[in-house]
Amino acid sequence: MNETFAVLGLFDSADALMEAVPKVRALNLGRLEAYTPYPVHGLDRALDQRRSPLAGMVMIMGILGALTALLFQYWISAVDYPIVTGGKAPSSWQAFVPIMFEVMVLFATFTAGLGMLLLLNRLPYFGHPVLQAKAIRGITRDRFALSVEAEETFDPAAARAALEAAGARDIELLPAPARGPWLTADFIQKSLAGIAVACLVSGLVMFAAVKLVPILPPMSHMSDQPRLDPQAESAFFKDGRGMRPPVAGTVARGFMPPGVASEDEAARLVNPLPRTPAVLAHGQAEYRIRCAVCHGALGNGISTLGAAYGAKPANLQAPNFLAYSDGRIYGAIVLGKNAMPSYAADLPEDARWAVVHYVRALQRAQNAKDEDLK
Amino acid sequence: MSADRTAKLLWSATALGGATAGASYFVTGGPRFWANWVVWFLFLLTLALGALFLVALEHLVSARWSVPLRRIPERLASLLIPLCAVALIGLGSLQALFPGARPEAAGDPALAGKAFWLGVPFFSARVALCAALGLVPLFVLLRGSLRQDRNPDPKFTIRARRFAPVCMAIFALLVTQAAFDWIGGLTPAWYSDVIGVYLFAGAFMAGLAATALAVLYLKGKDRLQAVRFDHVFNIGAFLFAFTVFWAYIAFAQYMLMWYGNLPDEVIWFQAHTGGAWLGVVALLALLHFFVPFFALVPRDVKGDPKRLRWVALVVLAAHWVDLYWLVFPALGAPVFSWPELGFALFFTCGSLLWVRGAMERGEDMPVGDPFLKEGLEFRL
């Protein structure tokens, strides 16, 4: 093991340093290192240092951080405990992006910092020899240092001569540092014990603070928000309702509600649905739920409700109803007729027309002719 | 290729493009013609304003590194002169594209209150005012800079540094007007405060990309030999940084509106991401952010002429896609066919003709600038 760490000389400008580097390098005396008050571009290439792997490490870890955040958020909000917040789907990637960015930066900066210190700067060196040099005052201000570091075989006198020949001043010899053992059992035990004590003390203090001073809840602004809960009352609005109904006449974009304003308008409409078994089955189901209770299962106006309350619902088998156009039946469903209220809110557009088809089928079934059998 | 042949080729390409573009008015209709016109007007306007921003920025912060390059963005900024005509002709699009300028607007309760602002007279007045305002920085910064070539007097440098803040204000006003009127005006019921910043991010990238292309072209012709790796590197680094800025602004605008989910705001994104537009959005994200970002990540390639050249071309293409995405949804589903190609031919070759002429004005470097020596010695 060599007693000397390096031989170091100072230059007055970055250009002088850059000129000296190839001269000293050609002699091949030892590993070259430069110390400058600011980054000098091109120096790493002149020193023939291997490309730092740090950039690649930071890139990979940054991408890994973003992916970690994406998968973690996806898992917690869409897989493990899916919950709809703010009307958004649980797996809304848009909401994940800011946190993906944060975690990416976190991973990248930790990789850059720790990678630089531990892997590339070969810590633990608790004191780099150059920090003990006389030259350090100059290096941190306006001088540029070049040092020839000792390798297996090293001739300090030759290095000194080479630096002198290259124009360096204030040449000095840096002794090798004592590299103390670092990760000893004692050090690890003390560190872990220190962390444990710190956790215990801060936990106890927090517990005591919350228990002894109950007027200081640790964090309440999540539960005490100046917003109104659903169905809550509000003194702010005249009608006292916290939930506001939409302005009258509001419709969703692209969802103009279908419907008609008058019976005459309805009479001109044509049934847009095809007469298929599926549509008739749909119409039958809806008819039995909404219509049969008054108009009867056969559409003849004889029903349980009519018998119980003496109401007289329309007999859809009567000749005037047989003569109705499809549109008029549709109009009766949407607008209501006599005592019958509008069923527009109960039956969506396709259900209304399916019911019209089913009523037509009922009418034909009750007035079957011989040729229907053929 | 000789200079004469290049000029002839450019002239005939411009004529061919112009004929195609003109024919599209009668074949595919007025709205599509005007949408193309507005896209190309905005493309060249933002490019020229981005270049002007580079010039003004140098004067504003007394930058030294960019002094040897300054003549290039100055020449690109001179595109603002022909753009005055393009803007005034573009006013023909008002009735075809802008709902607020149509007579029906008076019957629309959402637009009636803004009739004065969105109507043809005041819209035209704003455009004319901005065209005139755009010529002021050219008059002060470009003419003075050219004069300094012949008479190396530092007086201009001092004047330019004093004028730079005013130029920045004019720049901000012009970009905001372009964004609010020409883009926001297409959907007057939609509001976005950040659309001006969004356009600025694209404008600066377009200006930088065009500057990079022009610098590398002139270097290839042995005309800017004193410009070194370090200068080119700085342009590449700026371009790299602003890809992130653009992506940040674009995503921030989208995410906030998506979160807020206000009907009058999200409808814009519904129209601009619905159907085939989603593919355009993906292309935009790819070309405007992912490709340039990852292409410029490694350190040394920021100053590598080959890499920088194609990244700059990608950025310019992406800027066109960006404006296409902002304007064309006013017509419905995305359309791309011969009218768009005709317009591209007409406006690229036309502007190249102008820039070619401008490249011969004055010296290639501001030889009279007192900071030129310092700029040439610039080291990273």
A97 CB neighbours in chain B (<8 A) are 251, 255
How many residue pairs bridge chain A and chain B with CB atoms within 8 Å of each other? 24
Residues of B with CB under 8 A from a CB of A: 230, 251, 254-255, 258-259, 261, 263, 267, 270, 297-299, 379-380
Domain final residue pick, A141, A175, A209: A175
Decide if B299 and A55 are in contact by the 8 Å CB cutoff.
yes
The token duo for B275 is 């159907």
Q: B185: distance to nearest CA of chain A, Å?
A: 20
CB contact under 8 A, B379 and A41: yes
**pLDDT winner (highest mean) among A11-20, A180-189, A343-352, B308-317:** B308-317
Shortest CA gap A39–chain B (Å): 9
Least confident piece of the model among A74-78, A258-262, B18-22, B363-367:
A258-262
Q: If you write DSSP's letter for every residue of B325-379 in order, what string do you get?
A: HHHGGGGSS---SHHHHHHHHHHHHHHHHHHHHHTTSS-SS-TT-TTHHHHHT--
Residues A24 and A163 grouped into a single domain: yes
As for how many domains chain A has, the answer is 2
Residue A135 near residue A172 (C-beta atoms within 8 A): yes
* Residue A9, CB-side half-sphere exposure with 13 Å CA sphere: 22
Show the domain range for A123. Answer: 4-175
**DSSP letter (8 states) at residue B65:** T
Closest partner residue to B267 (CB to CB) among A59, A98, A253 is A253
For chain B, give the mean pLDDT: 91
**How many Cβ atoms from other residues are within 10 Å of residue A346's Cβ?**
13
Mean pLDDT value of segment A32-42: 87
- Evaluate whether B188 touches B328 at the Cβ level (below 8 Å): no
Question: From A56, which residue of chain B is nearest by alpha-carbon distance?
Answer: B298
Q: Residue B65: which of A41, A12, A21 has the closest Cα?
A: A41
In a domain, A199, yes or no: no
B134-166 per-position pLDDT tens digit: 999 998 898 888 888 888 888 888 999 999 999
Q: Measured between beta carbons, which residues in chain A are less than 8 angstroms from residue B379?
A: 14, 41
The residue out of A175, A202, A228 marking a domain boundary is A175
Instruction: Specify whether A120 is located in the same domain as A268.
Output: no
Write down the pLDDT at residue B117. 87
* A21 shares its domain with A138: yes
Domain end among A156, A175, A194: A175
Nearest of A46, A58, A50, A45 to residue A16 by alpha carbon = A46
Residues of A in contact with B261 (CB under 8 A): 86-87
Q: Residue A154 has what DSSP assignment?
A: -
Phi, psi of A338 (to 5 degrees): 50, -120
Q: Of the segments A52-56, A265-269, B62-66, which one has the largest average pLDDT value?
A: B62-66
Task: Identify the DSSP state of B226.
Answer: T
Nearest C-alpha in B relative to A251: B263
End-to-end CA separation in angstroms for chain B: 36
- Computed over every residue of chain A, the mean pLDDT equals 85
The alpha carbon of residue B293 is apart from the nearest alpha carbon of chain A, in Å, by: 12
Order of strands, sheet of A4-11, starting from the edge strand that comes earlier in the sequence = A31-35, A144-149, A4-11, A169-175
Q: Is the pLDDT of residue B172 over 50?
A: yes
Pick the residue with more confidence: A249 or A103? A103
pLDDT of residue A1: 45
* A281 assigned to some structural domain: yes
- Determine, for residues B258 and A98 on separate chains, whether the beta-carbon distance falls below 8 Å: no
Select from A11, A16, A48 the least CA-distant residue to A33. Answer: A48
Task: Confirm whether A97 is domain-assigned.
Answer: yes
* A270, A171: one domain: no
Residue A50 has a pLDDT of 77
Q: What is the ipTM of this complex?
A: 0.83
CA dihedral B76, B46, B140, B73 (to 10 degrees): -30
Q: Tell me: the pLDDT tens digits for A193-241?
A: 999 999 999 999 988 888 887 776 667 777 777 778 888 888 888 888 8
Residue A209 lies in a domain: no
Same domain? For A269 and A166 the reply is: no
Check whether residue A53 and residue A168 sit in a common domain: yes
Task: Kindly state whether A51 is in contact with chain B, defined as any CB-CB distance less than 8 angstroms.
Answer: no
- Upstream peptide bond of A313 is cis (omega within 30 degrees of 0): no
* Cβ contact A97–B251 (<8 Å): yes
pLDDT given at position A218: 65
Task: Measure the CA–CA gap between B44 and B38, rounded to whole angstroms.
Answer: 10
Q: Identify the DSSP state of B261.
A: -
Query: Do both A18 and A154 map to the same domain?
Result: yes
| Reported pTM | 0.79
Say if residue A311 is in the same domain as residue A168: no
Residue B73's region, left for phi above 0, alpha for psi from -120 to 50, else beta, is alpha
Residue A127 above 70 pLDDT? Answer: no
Vertex A66 angle, CA A62 and A68, to 5°: 110
- pLDDT greater than 50 at residue B355: yes
Query: Pick from A42, A59, A94: which is nearest to B258 by CB?
Result: A94
Single-letter amino acid, residue B207: G
Candidates B37, B151, B123, B26; CA nearest to B83 is: B37
Query: Of how many residues is chain A composed?
Result: 374
Taking the CA of residue B281 and the nearest CA in chain A, the distance in Å comes to 15
Helix axes B229-260, A93-114, angle to 10 degrees: 140
Task: Check pLDDT > 60 for residue B238.
Answer: yes
- What are B279-338's pLDDT values in tens digits? 999 999 999 999 999 999 988 899 899 999 999 999 999 999 999 999 999 988 888 889
- Identify any residues that bridge with A31 across adjacent strands, giving them in sequence order: A149
A156 — pLDDT class (breaks 50, 70, 90): confident
pLDDT of residue B1: 59
Query: Tokens 């998506």 map to which residue?
Result: B258
**Is A194 within the bounds of a domain?**
no
- The arithmetic mean of pLDDT across residues A271-290, rounded, is 91
Task: Express each pLDDT in A339-349 by its tens digit.
Answer: 888 898 888 88
Q: How far is A27 from chain B (nearest CA, A)?
A: 28
Res A121: pLDDT: 67
Percent of chain B with pLDDT over 70: 100
Mean pLDDT of A146-168: 84
Average pLDDT over residues B58-86: 92
Calpha distance A355→A285 (Å, rounded): 9
What are the residues facing B319 on neighbouring strands? none
Looking at chain B, which residue has its C-alpha nearest residue A45?
B300
- B342 in Cβ contact with B25 (< 8 Å): no
Interchain proximity A94–B259, CB inside 8 Å: yes
The amino acid present at A70, given as its one-letter code, is: L
One DSSP character per residue, A221-258 reads TTTS-SSPPTT-B-SSSTT-BSSPPPPTT---TT-PPP
* Structural domain includes residue A229: no
Same domain, A18 and A153: yes
Residue B179: φ, ψ to 5° = -70, -45
- Mean pLDDT along residues B85-112: 86
Q: Are B343 and B36 in contact (CB under 8 A)?
A: yes
Going by C-alpha positions, the residue among B250, B253, B280 that lies closest to residue B265 is B253
Q: Do B299 and A41 touch (CB under 8 A)?
A: no
Give yes or no for a contact between A336 and A343, defined as CB atoms under 8 angstroms apart.
Answer: yes
Residue A13's Cα: distance from chain center in Å?
50
Over range B42-69, report the average pLDDT: 93
**Domain harbouring A317, CATH code:** 1.10.760.10
> In which residue are the tokens 């200079």 written?
B3
User: 3-state class of A82 per DSSP?
Assistant: coil
Contact indicator for B18, B133 with CB cutoff of 8 Å: no
Which chain B residues contact residue A42 at CB under 8 A?
380
When CB atoms are compared, the residue of A41, A98, A253 closest to B380 is A41
Q: Are A363 and A321 in contact (CB under 8 A)?
A: yes
Burial class (CB in 10 A: 0-12, 13-18, 19+), B139: exposed
Q: Report the relative pairing of strands A31-35 and A144-149 from DSSP bridges.
A: antiparallel
Copy the structure tokens of residue B122: 């005041």
Closest CA to A362 of A274, A299, A276: A299
A246 touches chain B (CB under 8 A): no
Q: What is the DSSP string of A282-301?
A: HHHHHIIIIIHHHH-TTSSS
Structural contact between residues B164 and B56, judged by C-beta atoms closer than 8 angstroms: yes
- CA-CA distances (angstroms) from residue B74 to A231, B54, B57, B219? 63, 9, 12, 17
Residue A245 belongs to some domain of the structure? no
Q: Do A87 and B263 touch (CB under 8 A)?
A: no
| Rounded average pLDDT over A74-103 | 91
